[in-house]
Amino acid sequence: MKRLAMVSAATFLAATMTTHAHAEPPAPSPGTMIMIGGALSDGNSEIYQEIVRRAGGPHARIGVITAASLPPSQDPAAGTPRAANSATNGRFYVDILKRYGAGAARWLPVDLDHPGAGDDPKIAAQAASMTGFVFGGGDQYRLVTALLHGTAHTDSRVLAAIRARFAGGAVVAGTSAGAQIQAGPDMVTGGASYQALRDGSRAGYFDDDTLLAELPAGGFGLFSAGLIDTHFSAYGRLGRAVRLASDTGHQRVFGLDPDTALEVTGTSLRVLGRHGVSVLDLREAVPGVRDGHWSISGVRWSYLTRGAAYDPATWTCRMPPATPRLTPAGRSAASPVQDIFGSSAAGGGGGFRLTRAALDLAGAGASTTVLGLTYETNPVFAVALAKENTFTAWGEGAATGFTDLTVSMYPSPQQP
Is residue 96, in this structure, part of any structural domain at all? Answer: yes
Give the pLDDT score at 396. 81
Q: How many domains does the chain have?
A: 1
Give the pLDDT score at 4. 44
Is residue 324, in this structure, part of any structural domain at all? Answer: no
- Apex CA 140: angle with CA 135 and CA 141, to 5°? 135
Mean pLDDT of 171-188: 98
Among residues 13, 19, 79, 52, the alpha carbon closest in space to that of 248 is found at 19
Is residue 391, in this structure, part of any structural domain at all? Answer: no
Distance CA 133, CA 154 (A): 20
pLDDT digits (tens, 9 = 90+) for 27-75: 556 899 999 999 999 999 999 999 999 999 999 999 999 999 999 999 9
Mean pLDDT of 109-113: 98
Distance CA 271, CA 276 (A): 7
Is residue 174, in this structure, part of any structural domain at all? Answer: yes
Q: Give the N- to C-terminal CA distance of the chain in Å, as an integer.
A: 28
Is residue 352, in this structure, part of any structural domain at all? Answer: no
Give the pLDDT score at 148. 98
Give the pLDDT score at 367. 85
Q: State the pTM of this model.
A: 0.92
Is residue 20, in this structure, part of any structural domain at all? Answer: yes
The pairing of strands 252-256 and 227-229 is: parallel
Range of the domain at 102: 9-275
Among residues 179, 203, 197, 218, the alpha carbon closest in space to that of 68 is found at 179
Say if residue 345's pLDDT is above 80. Answer: yes
pLDDT digits (tens, 9 = 90+) for 268-318: 999 999 999 999 999 999 999 999 999 999 999 999 999 999 999 999 999
- Helix (H/G/I), strand (E/B), else coil: 106: strand
Say if residue 18's pLDDT is above 80. Answer: no
Q: Which residues contact 138 (CB under 8 A, 6 or more apart)?
A: 1, 2, 66, 67, 68, 69, 70, 89, 176, 177, 178
pLDDT digits (tens, 9 = 90+) for 236-249: 999 999 999 999 99
Give the pLDDT score at 333. 87
Is residue 211, in this structure, part of any structural domain at all? Answer: yes
Is residue 49, in this structure, part of any structural domain at all? Answer: yes
Give the pLDDT score at 266. 87
92 backbone φψ class: left, alpha, beta (φ>0; ψ -120 to 50): alpha
Give the pLDDT score at 347. 83
Cβ–Cβ under 8 Å, residues 390 and 403: yes
192: domain CATH number?
A: 3.40.50.880
